[in-house]
């Protein structure tokens, strides 16, 4: 009996010592972007979100993110523009079907419930290191993660040398992940 109690306690403590694993859901999640084109803010979003987030706010050293969206799902509410954005000059969705992010480190922020993530963003086969702040709010059987960051589209070979489109692109994340 003493052995069973000790084993149970050990398993309970071991489970608490690691991040919990959550699966991202496309339902309830949004991966949005905003860019200026001809001086006017143009926005859109991606769907097809897939991935795993291992997260425990008290044990960030074991926390990590590995998520992606399907590039072909780009939607700016303009079918002709979306078709153009799927071509080689922009997202080249046939050659590079996924846009992905894999974390390398997650740390705590000085603001309660906020964190920093460092990792690698891959677009069109080009990987760049990025970092950004995010929030993590517990919800039914998981977490809601939110954050935003800016990238230079040219760093990823998106949009060629277009002079009408801004180089800076803002990405806004609202991600639902469940056990």
Predicted pLDDT at 18: 58
Residues with Cβ < 8 Å from 72, sequence gap 6 or more?
Answer: 48, 86, 91, 93, 97
Residue 33, both tokens: 């972007």
Q: Where are the alpha helices (DSSP H) in the chain?
A: 2-16, 79-85
Predicted pLDDT at 2: 54
Q: How far is CA 52 from CA 47, 136, 144, in A?
A: 16, 15, 13
- Taking each continuous run of H as one helix and of E as one strand, the counts in the chain are 2, 9
Predicted pLDDT at 77: 97
Convert the pLDDT of each residue in 30-87 to its tens digit. Answer: 999 999 999 999 999 999 999 999 999 999 999 999 999 999 999 999 999 999 999 9
Convert the pLDDT of each residue in 126-169 to its tens digit. Answer: 999 999 999 999 988 999 999 999 999 999 999 988 889 999 99
Mean pLDDT confidence for 87-100: 97
Tell if the pTM clears 0.85, that is, is over it.
yes
Containing H/E element for 55? strand 50-55
Residues 128 and 151 sit within 8 Å (Cβ to Cβ): yes
Predicted pLDDT at 1: 54
At residue 88, does pLDDT exceed 70? yes
């Amino acid at each position: 009996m003493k052995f069973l109690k000790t084993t149970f306690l050990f398993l309970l403590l071991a489970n608490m010592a690691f991040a919990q694993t959550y699966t991202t859901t496309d339902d309830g999640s949004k991966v949005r972007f905003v860019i200026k084109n001809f001086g006017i803010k143009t926005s859109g979003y991606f769907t097809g979100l897939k991935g795993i987030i291992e997260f425990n706010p008290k044990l960030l050293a074991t926390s990590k993110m590995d998520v992606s969206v399907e590039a072909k799902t780009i939607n700016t509410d303009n079918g002709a523009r979306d078709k153009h954005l799927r071509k080689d000059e922009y997202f080249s969705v046939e050659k590079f079907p996924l846009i992905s992010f894999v974390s390398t480190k997650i740390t705590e922020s000085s603001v309660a419930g906020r964190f920093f993530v460092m990792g690698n963003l891959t677009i069109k086969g080009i990987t760049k290191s990025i970092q950004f702040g995010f929030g993590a709010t517990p919800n039914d059987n998981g977490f809601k993660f939110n954050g935003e960051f800016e990238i230079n589209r040219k760093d990823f070979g998106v949009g060629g040398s277009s002079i009408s489109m801004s180089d800076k692109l803002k990405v806004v994340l609202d991600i639902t992940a469940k056990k």
